[in-house]
C-alpha cells in the first residue's frame, strides 16, 4: 500500500514538473505577433525603482523597439507611442519610496492587440534594470 502511494506521488511530482517546464517556455514569434484579447493585468507591472528612472527606462525601451513616439510628458509620466498601427499609452506612476508601476494600455481602450508590444517593453526594462541612467553631454 505504501509503495503504491509513493508511486502515485512520484507520478504527480513528475507530471507537474514536466507540465511546469512546458508552460514556462517563452512565447513563439507567432504568439507574440498575433493579435489576441489582452488582460489588463498583463499590461501593468511594478518595479522596485523610483518613478523617474522607470520613466526613462520605458522611454528607452520604446525607442529600442523602434516604436514611433507621438507625445511624451515627463512631469505627468506618460508616453504616447504608435506600434502596429495602434496607439498606446505608457504611464508611470509613483507607488511608494523606490517603487513604481508601468501601465501600457491601448489609447482607444480596445485590448485586442499583439502581446509582443507590451511584453517586449517589459522585457527590455527587466534586462536593463540595473543600468545607471547617465546624462548625455551636449555637443
Contact assessment for residue 103 and residue 115, using Cβ atoms and an 8 Å cutoff: no
Instruction: Name all contacts of 36-43 with Cβ < 8 Å and 24+ positions apart.
Output: 36/112, 36/113, 36/114, 36/115, 37/111, 37/112, 38/111, 38/112, 38/113, 38/115, 38/118, 39/111, 40/105, 40/111, 42/115, 42/118, 43/103, 43/104, 43/105, 43/111, 43/118
CATH code at 34-127? 3.30.530.50
Contact assessment for residue 95 and residue 46, using Cβ atoms and an 8 Å cutoff: yes
Q: What is the pLDDT along the chain (139 residues), one digit of tens a residue?
A: 666 666 565 555 555 554 443 443 466 766 667 888 999 999 999 999 999 999 999 999 999 999 999 999 988 889 999 998 999 999 999 988 899 999 999 999 999 999 999 999 999 999 999 887 777 667 6
Tell me how far apart the alpha carbons of residues 116 and 121 are, in angstroms, rounded to a whole number: 8
Q: What is the pLDDT of residue 95?
A: 87
pTM comes to 0.75
Q: What is the pLDDT of residue 9?
A: 55
Tell me how far apart the alpha carbons of residues 28 and 84 are, in angstroms, rounded to a whole number: 18
Q: What is the pLDDT of residue 35?
A: 87
Amino acid at each position: 500500500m505504501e509503495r503504491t502511494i509513493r508511486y502515485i506521488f512520484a507520478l504527480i511530482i513528475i507530471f507537474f514538473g514536466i507540465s511546469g517546464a512546458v508552460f514556462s517556455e517563452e512565447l513563439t514569434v507567432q504568439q507574440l505577433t498575433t493579435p489576441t484579447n489582452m488582460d489588463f493585468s498583463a499590461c501593468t507591472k511594478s518595479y522596485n525603482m523610483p518613478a523617474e528612472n522607470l520613466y526613462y527606462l520605458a522611454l528607452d525601451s520604446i525607442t529600442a523597439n523602434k516604436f514611433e513616439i507621438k507625445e511624451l510628458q515627463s512631469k505627468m509620466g506618460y508616453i504616447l507611442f504608435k506600434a502596429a498601427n495602434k496607439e498606446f499609452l505608457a504611464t508611470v506612476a509613483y507607488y511608494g519610496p523606490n517603487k513604481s508601476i508601468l501601465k501600457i494600455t491601448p489609447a482607444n481602450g480596445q485590448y485586442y492587440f499583439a502581446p509582443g508590444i507590451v511584453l517586449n517593453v517589459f522585457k527590455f526594462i527587466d534586462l536593463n534594470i540595473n543600468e545607471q541612467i547617465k546624462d548625455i553631454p551636449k555637443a
